Structure 1
Amino acid sequence: RRSSALNELFQGMQGERVRRVLRYLDRAKTDRAYPFARLCKRLFWSLTEAQSNEKFLRPLRSRLEALRDATSFERMPAHFRPIVHLIFLVWKTSVYYNTKEKLIEIMKRMCDLIVFRAEEFLSCGFPLMVEEVEEAEDTVRRIIMAVAVMGKLKSNFLRYRKKSFEECPSNPWNIPNRAIFKQMDVILDRCRTLIEIYSTYLQYQSIVGLTFPGG
């Protein structure tokens, strides 16, 4: 963990050898004293930030692991709201983990996971040649399910983004959708196109073989 590594480094810099070096540099009035002191200060603040982030993200870690390890793609949305809610609480209370960059990073990781699982879920639902109506119907059901799952993640984020403007007016989630959902939106567009294609095929199959009066 980053905080452990920084803490080990910081403790090492508090040792007697380092202190002797600092005293020597101070007495010698060398130009190297100030950069070294500045480095120590930066290390201290980095350690403080890392420890704070670890504290606030600890409850979130187990939720994200549960999402990652979910065996059923259809049930993954049950994890979305608790995770986004925790992210929102961290945003409200953390001193450091409340920047746009941090929010985009963690949400994009979630999106990447859901997109990967959606593609995995759909990969067994796309026969190269659809010869049976049942196959096409199953494929459409899978695509609709994938669209619904991805849409629920997006809707949860948008709900809390709106909430952030109400509860955190000085630091809301003022982030454009494309910064987080660009890849997911591409997949969603493809899925909607495939739904149209398969639906057209099913409509065509439904009239094949029909006999019309006067025909």
Structure 2
Amino acid sequence: MIRVLLADDEAMIRAGVRAILSADPGIEVVAEAADGHQAVELTLAHRPDVVLLDIRMPRMDGLAAADELRRVAPAASVLMLTTFGEDEYIARALSGGAAGFLLKSGDPRELLAGVHAVAEGAAYLSPKVAHRVIAELSGGGRLAHGTTARKRTGALTPRERQVLALVGAGLSNAEIAARLHVVEGTVKAYVSAILTRLEVRNRVQAAIIAYEAGLVDDTLR
């Protein structure tokens, strides 16, 4: 059972998200918070596997709460809820180690997929958020810090670079396994090695490096 804490200052949003999560028998919402400070307190009290954080909340916003949670409850995976027009927040949260981003207006299936992904130690970007991140990287904007990316990926083996490119393209382990005609366990081993060698926390940060290094081309997107 995946234990989830939900934090959003809008009661109607919380009710809607809770209803979606409750439809999955593998997910349990253990607590709700109306601001970031309360989210941190309830995380310490309930020890959820996943914390869903709205970015804009009173007292302490979602980004500050995510920073605090990384310090006091590092075992909890943070999944950010965002809206269009908050690209600068995405940049900050990714650099701070958020495990994923979801749009509030997205498909409910993305919410369930994101919770399962980050609970399993992976990362998740809803497709529309991923597109904005990719556009920012391709345009050399705030997220593009690629001066050392090629050097970092140059230390990987050719197969590891291939797997990293597919991670950057947003493919799951199962999809990568099918693409490369290997078993999923082999892909998991490659991904684990890549994260270690690149010294990054999760797949989102690895994907950013893949784009910065130019490993992801249009045929993979």
TM-score, with length taken from structure 1: 0.26
- Which protein has the bigger strand share? 2
Higher helix share: 1
Q: Which has the higher contact order (CA 8 A, sep 6+)?
A: 1
Rg (Cα) greater in structure: 1
